[in-house]
Amino acid sequence: MDRRNFIYTSGLALASACMSGKLQAFDYKKNLNVKPIIGSWFEFKHHSDVEGTYWNPAFASFSDEQWKALIKDISSLGMEYLVLLSVADNGKTLYPSKLQPMYDMASPDPLEAVMSAADECGIKFFISNDFWADYRDVSKMMTNKDVAILRAKGMEEVAEKYGHHKSFYGWYFPNESGLYRTIDETTITYVNDCSRMARELIPHSVNLIAPYGTKSIRLDDQYVRQLERLDVDIVAYQDEVGVRKAKAGTAGKYYEGLYRVHAKAGRSRLWADLEVFDFEGDVYRSPLIPSSFERIHAQLEDISPFVDNILIYQYCGLMSKPGSIASINQVRAEKLYTDYANWLKTQQRP
């Protein structure tokens, strides 16, 4: 398909009727050219307590059975990939480790619980290799030698404890460097070092990054040259709609340009990191809440022509299956789950 001449065929209509659960439903015409959500970021604890107001307390109390149910809930929406945001967070780990103390969680090993469930569901996990220090100090996380040594030990420990799972598909390198104009040398060094060790530990691993600054990239020959040097399998650029740097329905033009430079570089696959959240108040200073599916549909429609796959940030805390033992009991999260599930049924091929 000629992506640049892709023709949108779907219409958007708002249904006035309500579903039996008293949730408003949207009536979308079938458009098989709009890609479904193929996966999501995943976390045990959100790094910002303010942003994670509506789910951090619930996740801390989750049992192994609830974590496993959460994986099955995600799989029930047809999602095939999960990206673990972090294995550590500013001095504590999110799995039992010899390197740092573990956060106080009801589950003794939530990573084992979710990976076991992912094995059963056929889900592929990208496992994080960080945050072993303060995630907010990006420069230190990417360049400090002591942090690099700790990260390497962490990767060895994680690979030893969980590398036997068939769901261990690859690694995710979560330190984000803003791609202002081009890919900077710090990012290339950090990513390439992580990729080298990732493949030593998990030989056939598929590795992913998700940079921000999408609208600021200068898509020229210099960017192509830097992309050619970047040793990573997948780049899932953030669409930045949730953080209010772009508007729904406008980010596609950035991905169209990225499609051209990735094709020219012949290197990393182009995916999208689509933001399904809003902020309840000020950006970065208030709780994250689910956006409307109407907005998310506009994002899906806009970006679909130019990327191989669409991941979201994120199911955890922003979507929740009604009636599940893994529910976080948030009406807005249940509504987004239901709206998306209903749309997905309308898009199924005969």
Which residues are CB-neighbours of 86 under 8 A, at least 6 positions away?
Answer: 43, 47, 94, 128, 130, 131, 135, 174
Per-residue pLDDT at 10: 33
Per-residue pLDDT at 32: 64
Per-residue pLDDT at 249: 93
CA distances from 114 to 19, 48, 65, 159, 286 (A): 32, 22, 9, 15, 28
Phi, psi of 227 (to 5 degrees): -65, -35
Q: Dihedral (C-alpha) 57, 242, 70, 158: value to the nearest 10 degrees?
A: -80
Cis link prior to 314 (omega < 30° from 0)? yes
| Residue 93: its H or E element | strand 92-93
pLDDT per position in the chain (350 positions), as tens? 333 333 333 333 323 233 333 333 445 665 668 999 999 999 999 999 999 999 999 999 999 999 999 999 999 999 999 999 999 998 999 999 999 999 999 999 999 999 999 999 999 999 999 999 888 888 888 999 999 999 999 999 999 999 999 999 999 999 977 788 999 999 999 999 999 999 999 999 999 999 999 999 999 999 999 999 999 999 999 999 999 999 999 999 999 999 999 999 998 999 999 999 999 999 999 999 999 999 999 999 999 999 999 999 999 999 999 999 999 999 999 999 999 999 999 987 65
Residue type, 172: Y
**Rg from Cα positions in the chain:** 20
Per-residue pLDDT at 31: 65
Q: What is residue 272's three-state secondary structure?
A: strand
Per-residue pLDDT at 134: 85
Nearest-angstrom CA–CA distance, 269 and 305: 14
